[in-house]
Amino acid sequence: MRVLGIDSGSRVTGYGVIDGDGADCVYVSCGVIRVSPSESLSHRLHSIYRGIMDVISAAQPDVAAFEGIFYSMNVQSALKLGHVRGVCMAAVAEAKLPVFEYSPAEVKCAVTGYGRAEKLQVQQMVCALLKLKTRPEEYDASDALAVAICHAHSNRLKHAAGIR
């Protein structure tokens, strides 16, 4: 199964693609879609949408997994993040991919074993789990890979338990 993990952000949106059944995950690609804060919101959203569509076209994932919104941010940030998640989900829906969502604590726990792990810990464990020789340059990319790993692990457990 090929999993596209997405870490939505209003300035930087991370993506990570892995192949795996949960027990063994193999790195395919990762990166970020960066937009300029000086551009209009509509232009930034369109750029993110196109970027996600390009990733889907290149990677051909089977499913997409998103990290849920962290709720302790301010209202303006939450609104912008909601817009970004919306265009990312629209791109995924256009590609007819199933969508899964995991809380930040679920993602961190799946990768590090601790739901309050710091970004550096998540990044280090992503590298260890995927046997990467170098760390992704951006935390957003390693966070997206963590979301993909979380889905692969979760999907494997659900499949083993006969849950659909």
Active-site pick, 7, 106, 138, 143: 7
Q: Cα angle vertex 92, ends 90, 98, to 5°?
A: 120
24 in active site: no
Active-site pick, 106, 138, 140, 143: 140
Interatomic CA distance for residues 22 and 68, integer angstroms: 20
Kindly report, residue by residue over 15-36, the tens digit of the pLDDT: 999 999 767 899 999 999 999 9
39 in active site: no
54 in active site: no
Instruction: Give, in order, the Cα–Cα distances in Å from 132 to each of 36, 123, 145, 163.
Output: 29, 10, 12, 31
Kindly report, residue by residue over 70-125, the tens digit of the pLDDT: 665 688 888 888 999 999 999 999 999 999 999 999 999 999 999 999 999 999 99
Residue entry with tokens 């930034």: 44
Kindly report, residue by residue over 132-162, the tens digit of the pLDDT: 999 998 999 999 999 999 999 987 555 444 5
For the structural domain made of 2-161, what CATH number should be given?
Answer: 3.30.420.10
